[in-house]
C-alpha cells in the first residue's frame, strides 16, 4: 500500500497536470496572429439586406476592418473595427455610424472588447462591461461567422449574428 504522503502527492500531481491541460493556451495574452483568419472580403445577409465586411491582415500591431449593412440599395449602418495589440493581448474597438457618417456613439466613445482566448480559426472577446461576448469563427475555408453571447442562468449562450461567405 502507498503511504498517505505518496497518495496526496499523486492526487496533487493529477490535479496540476489536469489544470494545465484544460487551460486555454492563449488565455494569458494572445496576439493579432490569432485573428489572421479574419483577413479577406466577406458577404452575407442581415435584416433582409446584404451585409459586407472586410478585414486586413495583421500589420504594425493592428488589423482594421468594416461592416457595411444595406437594405433596398441604401446603407443602413456602418461599423468600423480596429484590433490593436496591447501588452495584455489584442483589444477590439468598434464604432457605429448611420449613413452620412453620423456617429451613434459620442466622439470619444466606442465599444471596447478584450481578448479572452483563441484556438485555430476562432477568437473570443468580451465587452468591457462583461455583459457581451463575441466569437469570431472561420467555420469553413470560405465561411466566417460572428457570434454574440450573453449570460443566461450563469451560462454563456451564443447565437449566430452574422454569417459571411468569402468573395473575391
Identify the domain containing residue 132 by its residue range: 4-167
Which residue from 80, 81, 84 is spatially nearest to 32, judged by alpha carbons? 84
> Counting every residue, how long is the chain?
168
Count of structural domains within the chain = 1
What does 74-107 look like in DSSP terms, one character per residue?
A: EEEEEEEEEEEEETTEEEEEEEEEETTTEESS-T
Which residue from 12, 13, 35 is spatially nearest to 83, judged by alpha carbons? 35
pLDDT at position 168, please?
86
Reading the chain (168 residues) residue by residue, the pLDDT tens digits are 545 544 433 333 333 333 333 334 334 589 999 999 999 999 999 988 999 999 999 999 999 999 999 999 999 999 999 999 999 899 999 999 999 999 999 989 999 999 999 999 999 999 999 999 999 999 999 999 999 999 999 999 999 999 999 998
pLDDT at position 29, please?
85
- Of all residues in the chain, what percent are helix, strand and coil, respectively (each to 5)? 15, 55, 25
- Residue 117: how many other CB atoms lie within 10 Å: 19
CATH code of the domain covering residue 59: 2.40.128
Distance between CA 66 and CA 107 in Å, rounded?
18
Rg (CA), the chain: 20
Q: What is the pLDDT of residues 64-80, one digit of tens each?
A: 999 999 999 999 999 99
pLDDT at position 17, please?
34
pLDDT at position 28, please?
52
Q: What is the pLDDT of residues 125-141, one digit of tens each?
A: 999 999 999 999 999 99
Label residue 65 exposed, middle or buried (CB < 10 Å: 0-12, 13-18, 19+).
buried
Amino acid at each position: 500500500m502507498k503511504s498517505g504522503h505518496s497518495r496526496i502527492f499523486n492526487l496533487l500531481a493529477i490535479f496540476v497536470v489536469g489544470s494545465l491541460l484544460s487551460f486555454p493556451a492563449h488565455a494569458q495574452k494572445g496576439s493579432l496572429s490569432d485573428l489572421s483568419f479574419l483577413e479577406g472580403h466577406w458577404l452575407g445577409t442581415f435584416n433582409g439586406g446584404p451585409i459586407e465586411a472586410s478585414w486586413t491582415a495583421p500589420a504594425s500591431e493592428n488589423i482594421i476592418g468594416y461592416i457595411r449593412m444595406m437594405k433596398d440599395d441604401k446603407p443602413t449602418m456602418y461599423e468600423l473595427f480596429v484590433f490593436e495589440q496591447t501588452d495584455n493581448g489584442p483589444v477590439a474597438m468598434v464604432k457605429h455610424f448611420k449613413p452620412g457618417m453620423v456617429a451613434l456613439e459620442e466622439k470619444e466613445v466606442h465599444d471596447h472588447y478584450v481578448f479572452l482566448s483563441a484556438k485555430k480559426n476562432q477568437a473570443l472577446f468580451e465587452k468591457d462591461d462583461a455583459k457581451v461576448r463575441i466569437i469570431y469563427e472561420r467555420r469553413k475555408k470560405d465561411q466566417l461567422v460572428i457570434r454574440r453571447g450573453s449570460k443566461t442562468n450563469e451560462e454563456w449562450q451564443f447565437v449566430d449574428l452574422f454569417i459571411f461567405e468569402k468573395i473575391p
